[in-house]
Structure 1
Amino acid sequence: MDELKHIPEYASWREVRLIDKGWSSDKKYKVVTNTGEEQLLRVFSKQAISAKQQEFLFIKKVASVIKDSSQPIICGEIPNTPFGYMLLSYVQGRDLNSQLPELSNEQQFFLGKSAGLLLKTIHELPVPESVSQQGIQQRIYDKKCNQLQRYLDSEYYLEGQEAVLSYIEEQLKNIRTRPVCYQHGDFHVGNLIYLPSREIGVIDFNRWDFGDPYEEFYKLQSFSRETSPLFSYGQILGYFDGEVPESFWTFQKLYVAHISLFSVIWAIPYGNKQVEEMIARYYQFKRDYPTPKTLVPEWYNKAEGAAISINMDL
């Protein structure tokens, strides 16, 4: 923590506590100032300063349209060290993935609808004219192809993968026809906060990017639905204002199918346990889509049935 003492704001802090959670390479700290204000400090390699300044600008854009999100304070280099830092407001509350199981079905559903509206708000931020939509589309396509090839070149073979690969190869080229928007990049219940106001706050923007708005939903199916299918169902309905287009399901299946294979390779550096968890997610995908023609996943149909008793107009 010696590098923290070189941060210009350090003298105004009375407490600095390490936050040991998450997958980011940033070191994260909860800071309490001399006046009692709580802030989030992220420390990173100075080599990442340009990317982090772009992230900071994105956080500023989001904060201008979503009040209950990380508010930007400062981003810069830590003098006389090989590090940079970012200071943000600390969003008070409880991790939503911990809170949801304690809430009623109605509360889970309506929080999901709220989350869908928040995600839609992020996606509606104007994309700068300098951003090449065609270039982004091609980059995403090339990235997905490369990731898929890494799986194919690996030692892994998962039962029934032929049909999954066939669907991916059939649909992957269509990524280049998709619109481009700002993406949060990691939008799921692990990065949402249940606020004291009983509303939702949005945090952790370090995976932001430009890309297909539909791509944001594969983590809902991979992570959020495990905590609360009703929340996840509500998020989709909220995002689409109750009218989910068929094209969404086509691309949702594509993105979830793709990540169900590539995540096995992604997990290798983290050990066998993590690899086994990703393999289990692949077989969950197979259960969600029991036939090659299935587009709407089974978990969504079940959640829709469970939501029948909920008054949607509340």
Structure 2
Amino acid sequence: MIDKLKNYGIQGAEQFKTVTPVKKGWSADEKYKVVTNSGQKLLLRISSIKEKERKHKEFQYLSAMDRTIRASSPLAFGTCLNEERTYIIYTWVDVEDAEIALKNYSKEKQYKMGYKAGQSLRKINSIPMLDEYESWDKRYNRKIDSKLKMYESCEVALEDAHKFLEVIERYRPLIKNRPTVFMHGDFHVGNLVIDNEGTVGIIDFNRFDFGDPWDEFNRMIFTVDVSNYFASGMINGYFNDQVDKHFFELMALYTAVNQIGSLPWAVKFGKKEVATMQRLSKQIIE
């Protein structure tokens, strides 16, 4: 494996001592835990060259991230394998998945950890923008229309789907004049980790996006499914205990759109994922 990566032409590969594949996650990227000759631990992600521009943008934004945020920091970006692939090398953090580790903490501690995670998310959304984008309402309205069309063509259906559709219709006008910021893009407990001191870290920025910061909460059901206390703390931490009066309306909209779109996505991965999305959708309605 080490010889293979050295032949790829990756910066610093001659210093790699051990390389271990990382299988977790849905990404098509090749991921490896690397230990160098000096004992430094790294995360190496190798992507299609088609992702070069996007990966470079990820490298730029994460390089500007507040260093008080517990996350893997990008160290190097480049191309490899005769310009056929692109890669980023990050620092490695020894942690445990939050969806597993949270169960080992008291309800009070779970809330405090969620609060810290919300504060970190706020800092991520505050990273200065490098580019200008079309207004959020124009982009998101197209996204809504696309997801509704895919749902209508889907071979399976959500129970009480009409309730999600009603929420979309009712709160859709609220997206007008919403800001556009840098977003993690997939922020939920499945992309959070906890170290042995109980500090929450954030991983997997590969689905980063630009849009309304409150759209970061569209996957809150995944977090609630693990810990209501952590989820509650996350919202209060994000808003510094002063939750905006329109937040829950917009969170309802973004959650409804995400759930409507989740079923066509789940169908591609089989009955187990479809059942999971149907269960979570029912949980949201209840």
TM range (shorter): over 0.9
Aligned twin of 2:258: 259
1:224-239 to 2 correspondence within 5 Å? Answer: 224-239=223-238
Structure 1: runs of 5 or more not aligned = 288-314
8 A contact 1:30–1:41 mirrored in 2: yes
How far apart are 1:3 and its partner, in Å? Answer: 4.8
Q: What is the rounded CA distance, in whole Å, between the counterparts of 2:252 and 2:69 in structure 1? A: 32
Aligned twin of 1:144: 144
How far apart are 1:111 and its partner, in Å? Answer: 0.4
1:62-101 to 2 correspondence within 5 Å? Answer: 62=65, 64-80=66-82, 82-101=84-103
How far apart are 1:44 and its partner, in Å? Answer: 0.8
> Which amino acid in 2 is paired with 1:139?
R
Q: What is the rounded CA distance, in whole Å, between the counterparts of 1:59 and 1:154 in structure 2? A: 36
Aligned twin of 2:127: 125
Q: What is the rounded CA distance, in whole Å, between the counterparts of 1:153 and 1:94 in structure 2? A: 39
How far apart are 1:70 and its partner, in Å? Answer: 1.2
> Which amino acid in 1 is paired with 2:72?
S
Map Cα deviations across residues 66-101 of structure 1 (whole Å, 9 max, x no partner).
352111111111142621211000022212111100
* Higher helix residue share: 1
Aligned twin of 1:297: none
Map Cα deviations across residues 109-163 of structure 1 (whole Å, 9 max, x no partner).
10011011101111122224x41352x4312221122011110232333332223
8 A contact 1:3–1:78 mirrored in 2: no
Q: What is the rounded CA distance, in whole Å, between the counterparts of 2:140 and 2:80 in structure 1? A: 33
User: SS where residue 55 of structure 2 aligns?
Assistant: helix
Calculate the aligned-residue CA RMSD, in Å: 1.7
8 A contact 1:3–1:81 mirrored in 2: no
Deviates more, 1:161-170 or 1:52-61: 161-170
Deviates more, 1:154-163 or 1:211-220: 154-163
Number of equivalenced pairs = 283
How far apart are 1:180 and its partner, in Å? Answer: 1.3
Distance 1:103 1:74, change over 3 A: same
Q: What is the rounded CA distance, in whole Å, between the counterparts of 2:70 and 2:258 in structure 1? A: 30
> Which amino acid in 1 is paired with 2:125?
H
Tell me the percent identity: 35
How far apart are 1:21 and its partner, in Å? Answer: 0.7
Map Cα deviations across residues 154-181 of structure 1 (whole Å, 9 max, x no partner).
2333332223212212322432331111
Aligned partner of 1:43 among 38, 41, 46: 46
> Which amino acid in 1 is paired with 2:11?
P
Aligned twin of 1:21: 24
User: SS where residue 252 of structure 2 aligns?
Assistant: helix
The one of the two structures with greater contact order (alpha-carbon pairs below 8 A, sep at least 6) is 2
How far apart are 1:198 and its partner, in Å? Answer: 2.3
> Which amino acid in 1 is paired with 2:168?
I
Q: What is the rounded CA distance, in whole Å, between the counterparts of 1:48 and 1:125 in structure 2? A: 22
8 A contact 1:178–1:212 mirrored in 2: yes
Distance 1:8 1:155, change over 3 A: closer
> Which amino acid in 1 is paired with 2:241?
G
Distance 1:61 1:3, change over 3 A: same
Q: What is the rounded CA distance, in whole Å, between the counterparts of 1:137 and 1:37 in structure 2? A: 45
2:19 pairs with 1:8: no
User: SS where residue 23 of structure 1 aligns?
Assistant: coil
2:201 pairs with 1:198: no
Aligned partner of 1:103 among 102, 105, 118: 105
How far apart are 1:4 and its partner, in Å? Answer: 1.5
2:210 pairs with 1:210: yes
Q: What is the rounded CA distance, in whole Å, between the counterparts of 2:157 and 2:216 in structure 1? A: 27
